[in-house]
Chain A
Amino acid sequence: MIQLKHVSKTFQSGASSVHAVQDVSLDIKEGEIFGIIGFSGAGKSTLVRCINLLEKPTQGTVTVDGVELTGLDEKKLRQMRLKIGMIFQHFNLLRSRTVYQNIAFPLKKSNLSQEQKNQKILSLLELVGLSDKKDAYPSQLSGGQKQRVAIARALANDPKVLLCDEATSALDPQTTKSILALLKKVNEELGITIVIITHEMAVVKDICDRVAIMELGHVVEEGTTEDVFVHPQKPVTKDFISTAGNVDKIYELIAEKNPLTILQPGEKMVMLTYSANNAGEPLISYLSEAFDVKANIIYGNIDILKGKTIGKLVVTLSGEKANMEKAIAYIRERQVDMEVIQE
């Protein structure tokens, strides 16, 4: 649905230039929810704004629904933008207009009849659960309600794609959940392809089918959410994953020199990440039976990832050196992701 080919965006400010996006290629499929995650300044917003050409890429091509946007003139581009809805962190509702009028706003560009527009607005209000707020002004709404209006407005012209730039970053965790649930519903019921920019792993974990991780303008890692979660490759990815669960507490414990974390010579502390199909419990008893390696569980955590469970265990392994090596090789073979924390 969306193809980015070697997209780069460089901002020139005086003598210095900022390479906000560098040689990014992505292929986002129809009907999927695609996450783009990265720390502040990684270039996520710039990248997503390149998709509807709010930012013109300095290099590369952007194709949406088979049309190469980078090759269009302004007029045709505006026509294509009707097919690409967008929502923002700060909602960007028109303050002088009611909820109803805000949703009606993009319909100025539509050639539906007045009555069809009215029906459309009412059904969108129902979809986002704000039928009773139709005559309220944005100043009378909560953040979550404002984002619902923004979503309804973005859907008014039946877009094929919905771009979300930090759409939940200004909301509390509970409201975030409800907005994500709404996006999921929009994706499933209307079949709209969704691109979500975020710096919260929890968002990706909840609804994204696939995810790309950005760092310094580059996409450094990309894959299905589960793969990336269970087998993270890059340090930045691991950072994000540890912020999503609470296993990073282990690092605090180590820093505090908690007695639990003090190792005897020859011991190793490792973090095991496993998904439901290679569950950890039998593994641990097997290590002791087959290799005579003792695994002492220090810390454990289970995450729910789009309905699938992802377990994380921090264990200290102790045993003969050769046995330890065999045990580790076995763990790797079982497709359980292992990270050595201390040795």
Chain B
Amino acid sequence: MSFLYQIAPNLEPLGAELVKCIGQTLQMLFVSGIISFILGLLLGVVLIVTKKDGIMRQVAVYNFFDKAIDVIRSIPFIILMILLIPVSRAIMGTGTGVPGAYIALIAGTVPFFARQIESVLSDVDYGLVEASAAMGFSPIEIIFSVYLKESIPGITRVTMITMVSLIGITAMAGAIGAGGLGDFAIRYGHQMGYRDMIWVTVIIILVIISIIQGIGNLIIRRTTH
């Protein structure tokens, strides 16, 4: 501990605050990550099965989601966040703090993730889908046993990429008072000029990303044959 305080002298007075901010970042990552994963996966599957050569072809549905994703993705996150404050108030009951950031974080992540899922699932050989249909499997069974099961390595890979991008946008959520490491770095590192605190935040974020990538790589290695 004393060694740490030597190289980062401001850690002593700010330690408790830092821990609180790490907690906020992890909370945002965890809650919006899980919800975005589920929604994004669902949306990616909807895109792949409803498109022109899909197994449940519904061109109108495909076009709607396809366009919606493009529109949301083209809005810069910081603007999307402000745009969604009223929506968050309506759904979450608040537009600020960690709970007030969830809606924006999810809206900023789902379209990005869904597109990547769509691309991963479209790499599944259509021959497998046909072979399964010939074996008497229904479209729903094919989604789970073929599309999703065969794509676990790819899904893991894009989940990692998305998590890293989600960490990036949680740092911006500080702007609506959600706290977190980004907010910490701005308040103490930038406004108060404590350079050591910037380095501490960078290292913590690197550690979080390494853990995510470590887990991801392990899953990919176990599931690629």
Binding site for B on A (CB under 8 A): 52, 54, 74, 78-82, 84, 86, 88, 90, 92, 94-96, 105-106, 108-109, 137-140, 153, 157, 163
Contact = CB atoms under 8 A, between A and B. Distances in A.
A106 to B, nearest CB: 4
Nearest to B134: A86
Interface of B: 125, 127-128, 130-138, 141, 145-146, 149-150, 152, 223, 225
Given A81-B136, A90-B127, A153-B135, 13 more contacts: A52-B134, A54-B134, A78-B137, A81-B134, A81-B135, A84-B134, A86-B134, A88-B130, A94-B146, A105-B132, A105-B145, A108-B137, A109-B136
A83 to B, nearest CB: 9
Given A78-B138, A81-B136, A108-B145, A96 B131 contact: no
A108 B135 CA distance: 10
Contacts of B137: 78, 108-109
A94 B132 CA distance: 10
B127 A82 contact: no
Contacts of B135: 81-82, 86, 105-106, 109, 153, 157
A96 B150 contact: yes
A88 B132 CA distance: 12
B133 to A, nearest CB: 6
B130 A54 contact: yes
Most buried by B among A82, A84, A94, A108: A94
Q: Which 7 A-B pairs have the closest CB atoms?
A: A137-B225, A92-B131, A81-B136, A92-B127, A78-B136, A86-B134, A106-B135
A157 B149 CA distance: 22
Contacts of A90: 125, 127
A82 B137 CA distance: 9
Nearest to B132: A105
A176 to B, nearest CB: 20
Most buried by B among A105, A137, A157: A105
Given A95-B150, A137-B225, A139-B225, A54 B133 contact: yes
B159 to A, nearest CB: 17
A94 B130 CA distance: 12
A195 to B, nearest CB: 13
Contact of A96 (B127, B132, B133, B225): B225
A94 B128 contact: yes
28 contacts: A52-B134, A54-B133, A54-B134, A78-B138, A79-B136, A81-B133, A81-B134, A81-B136, A86-B134, A88-B127, A88-B130, A88-B131, A90-B127, A92-B125, A92-B127, A92-B128, A92-B130, A94-B128, A95-B150, A95-B225, A96-B149, A96-B223, A105-B132, A106-B136, A108-B141, A109-B136, A137-B225, A140-B225
